[in-house]
Amino acid sequence: MVGAIAFSGKAIIVKLAYRHGVDAVTLIMFRMLFALPFFVIMAAWASRGKPPLTRRDWLGVIGLGISGYYLASFLDFAGLAYITAGLERLILYLTPTLVVALGWFLYRRRITKVQAFGMFISYVGVLAVFGQEARLAGSGVVWGVFLVFLSAISYAIYLVYSGEMVARLGSIRLVGLATSVACICCILQFLVLRPLSAAFEVAPQVVWLSVLNAVLCTVVPVLLTMMAIERIGSAMVSQTGLIGPLSTVLMGVWLLDEPFTTGIALGTVLVIAGIFVFTRAGVRSSG
């Protein structure tokens, strides 16, 4: 639960940082710059006594790092400039449904009727919140939703293709290596698109918020989630993660003064209920 809440706090910190005039390219660079040493240490620790990576392994790690962490993170940060933290978290919470949809499209894996029903409920909930936010904030919401949805698709692609790599390298080693690749990509992106002096022109609050984002909302949730999976299993962790969207909505209202109407509340409940039905169906069908 702590991991789910901490990870959900990422959107809150990003929205707070945007108040100081920083852009997505610079903001994600700072986040990844401060997170990089932790992920390098994680990868090195998990690689002890293991055989070195082959060329094929490195290509897989680079591809997964770009899809699952670089593109997904950058698109998410960019989308948050246009939509509320609550709507962002609800869209990202659709990722399991996208994984199943990709499995059906790529491998013709069956989608059960209960799973389809849960997906339907979730997407109706997101549409309800989107409609409310578009009415309150204007047309920019459409672009923000599109970017965050692309982020969810990018991370779903990572999840679909990471299974073989996890079996071969181990989850901690793969996460450490792939996130290190993503960190380097974000830093290089900044160096290509922005002058180096731009890093020294940001408000001090942006730097400290980025440190908090890197440690509390990036590294800590990864470690806590891995520890939780080891102790209670992935199915229970998935169910416990339902607290994530709700915590983001509540923190958004409390810390960012984001609107919380009846329509937003109803949409949030529908998304959480739909994902609960969807994940429960997935557990039963796999069992």
Model confidence pLDDT, tens digit, residues 215-262: 999 888 888 877 776 677 655 666 677 787 788 888 888 888 888 888
Q: Residue 17: pLDDT above 80?
A: yes
CA distance 259 to 277: 27
Per residue in 145-196, pLDDT (tens digit) is 999 999 999 988 988 888 778 888 888 898 899 999 999 999 999 999 999 9
Task: Note the pTM of the prediction, 2 decimals.
Answer: 0.88
